[in-house]
Structure 1
Amino acid sequence: MAKLTKYEKETIVLFNEGEDTASIYTYNAGLRKRLANFSKKYPDLCRLEKSCEQGGVSYVLEKSRLSIRLQPPMSEERRQKASEYAKQNRFNAKSDND
């Protein structure tokens, strides 16, 4: 099989008002890991439904466990404080070899 492009690696969240479950289909590595950990910890609330050869997974979970959070943009003041905090606590994305 051909390798998928980043554009083709979708995340799809499906649910309707008539059912208590939601379906999440994703290729996103971070979300796959979070779903795997959640399903291991709470198997009665979340389960792996299908895994694809190319890396995609499909989970079914209780809709009440799903949350969509919208975050407003950071103000310049907040961004500056976060930058200062990161510098003081050595949160540096670059290594000494860069």
Structure 2
Amino acid sequence: MYFTEADEFLEICTYNTELKNRLAAFAEKYPTGCRQLDDDGNGCKTFEVRKGRFSFRLTPPYSEERKQAASALAKKNIENLRRTTK
């Protein structure tokens, strides 16, 4: 992702298929807010997205306590997670 404070748009270059598909769909629906700039033919696509339309978040790593609580909950509810064929 490339941008400067002065630019109105940011540039996103990605190989991630899910992100490419989401950006392409967004560009089709909102052409004034997003457009594809380049497709290198090797799997990377570059999009230009208006600032304020794209966000990302940083999340801290889970604490050991949280990991253990999630594991215990999953183990307690394992039957709900298994697929049953009837």
TM-score band w.r.t. shorter chain: 0.7 to 0.9
Residue 69 in structure 1 maps to residue 57 in structure 2:
yes
- Could you say if the C-alpha distance between residues 31 and 80 of structure 1 is closer, same or farther in structure 2, counting changes exceeding 3 Å? same
Q: Which has the larger radius of gyration?
A: 2
Q: Does 1:57 align with 2:48?
A: no
- The separation in 1 between residues aligned to 2:18 and 2:33, in whole angstroms, is 19
Query: Which residue type is aligned with residue 90 of structure 1?
Result: L
Q: Provide the aligned length of Structure 1 versus Structure 2.
A: 80
Q: Which runs of 4+ in 1 moved over 6 A?
A: none
TM norm structure 1: 0.66
TM-score (norm 2): 0.73
Q: Percentage identity across aligned positions?
A: 41
Could you list the runs of 5+ residues in structure 1 that have no partner in the other structure?
Answer: 1-12, 93-98
Q: Does 1:43 align with 2:31?
A: yes
Distance in 1 between residues matched to 2:15 and 2:49, nearest whole Å: 17
Distance 1:79 1:35 in 2: 32
Match runs of 1:1-98 below 5 Å: 13-83=1-71, 84-85=73-74, 88=77, 89-90=80-81
Aligned partners of 2:47 and 2:76: how far apart in 1? 38
User: Distance between the aligned counterparts of 1:77 and 1:49, measured in 2?
Assistant: 45
Partner SS for 1:64: coil
Is the deviation greater in 76-85 or in 24-33? 76-85
RMSD of Structure 2 on Structure 1 (CA):
2.4
Aligned to 1:65, the other structure's residue is in SS state coil
